[in-house]
Amino acid sequence: MHLLIFVFISITLPEIKTKEIDYISIEIINEKVKEGKKETKEVKEVKEVKKFKVKPSPPKQKPLAIPKKKISVVTKKVNITPKPPQKKPKIISPKEKVEKKIDNSKDKNNDNLFDDMLKNLAENQPKPIKPIKPIKNKTNTKPKKTKEEIKRTQKSISNIVYKQIKENYTLPPAPDLKVINDITVQLRIYVMPDGTITKIIVSKSSLKKAQDDSTYLPFVEAAQRAIRKLGKFTKLPQEEYNSWKIIDIRFTPYET
């Protein structure tokens, strides 16, 4: 029995290693750009990028304790078996419904662009969000939110975030119609409890595309500019901090 436990532990141990997320920090690049160098040098330096590693951080709530807010219960993955994903799970988020123009077919078209991203997310996140079975705990006296209430809260948060980013997003100067080309840009941002955006990370696939295609780079920069211009979110519900402390944003400059 002990031997079995030991073998099982050995097998599962690699899964708890630090996960390398498919993102590259732009901040690191900025530091590398030395002033006084010519443009040709600049190109070389942009290529020297460091991979950003994210260590899985322990949850703030105590293990096995029932979270105080129901929304947290739903969005948390409590029972994850760390195994390599066989299929890329489609991440369905209720927030997508906020923007009427988004449809499923568009997501399918963009699947390739975000292969890396999705794979990465799949490794780190639960499969399609399912409400978990309520854990019995006598200490929990707060009434639980219904599925509808959770959806409503998430929709409201998404709306707040969407509006504030969109207000600051201006398309880059482009003398071309890029409707035909896929120029979606994917960013991940980290937000402090007071709404301050502390870090902007460009997905690896977006950054690689920017390095390969000079006409795509301005779109990456425009997306970053929108976030930097915004600087700080307002009106986000404090009690739902866990649901907006990390935000993945997909910019699609031209609606097709």
Partner 1 sequence: MDKIKRLVLKLIILIHISFCYIFLVQPNIALSQDEPLQIDIMGGKIQAMPIAISYFSIENNLKELQLHNNIPNLIANNLVNSGLFKLLNRDAYMQDPDQLNGRPKFRDWRIIDAQALITGKITKKTNDKINVTIELWDVYGEKRMFGISLSSKIKSWRRIAHIISDKIYERLTGEEGYFDTRIVYVSESGSQKNKIKRLAIMDQDGSNHQYLTDGSSLVLTPRFSPNQQQITFFSYHGINRGLKPSVYLYNLFTGKMEILGEFPGMSFAPRFSPNGSDLIMSLSQNGSTNIHILNLKSKNIKQLTKGIAIDTSPSFSPDGENIVFNSDRSGGQHLYIMKKNGKNPKRISFGRGSYATPVWSPRGDYIAFTKFTRGRFFIGLMHPDGSAERLIAEGYLTEGPTWAPGGRVLSFFRQTPQNDGTMRTRLFVIDITGNRERELITPEDASDPSWSPKNIN
Q: Give residues 18-47 in contact with partner 1 (rule: CB under 8 A).
A: 30, 33, 35-39, 42
Among 7, 20, 50, 80, binds partner 1 (CB under 8 A): 80
- Least separation, in Å, of the C-beta of 227 and partner 1? 9
Residue 16 engages partner 1 in binding (rule: CB under 8 A): yes
Residue 194 engages partner 1 in binding (rule: CB under 8 A): no
Tokens of 57: 């951080």
- Residues 95 to 154: which contact partner 1 by CB under 8 A? 95-96, 99, 101-102, 121, 124-126, 129, 154
- Which residue, 144 or 172, is less far from partner 1 as judged by CB? 172
Q: How far apart are CA 66 and CA 246, in angstroms?
A: 22
- Cα distances from 254 to residues 11, 99, 228, in angstroms, run 47, 14, 21
Q: What angle do CA 86, 205, 30 make, to 5 degrees?
A: 135
- Least separation, in Å, of the C-beta of 220 and partner 1? 10
Q: How far apart are CA 208 and CA 26, in angstroms?
A: 12
Q: How far apart are CA 68 and CA 239, in angstroms?
A: 10
Residue 11 engages partner 1 in binding (rule: CB under 8 A): no
- Least separation, in Å, of the C-beta of 239 and partner 1? 13
Helix (H) or strand (E) holding 47: helix 39-47
- Which residue, 51 or 90, is less far from partner 1 as judged by CB? 90
Among 88, 145, 169, 197, binds partner 1 (CB under 8 A): 169
Q: What angle do CA 173, 202, 82 make, to 5 degrees?
A: 155
Contact 196, 231 (CB under 8 A): yes
- Residues 233 to 252: which contact partner 1 by CB under 8 A? 242-252
- Which residue, 141 or 160, is less far from partner 1 as judged by CB? 160
Tokens of 45: 């330096």
**First vs last Cα of the chain: how many Å apart?**
59
Q: Which stretch binds partner 1 (CB under 8 A): 133-141, 145-153, 223-231?
A: 223-231
Among 2, 44, 47, 130, binds partner 1 (CB under 8 A): 2
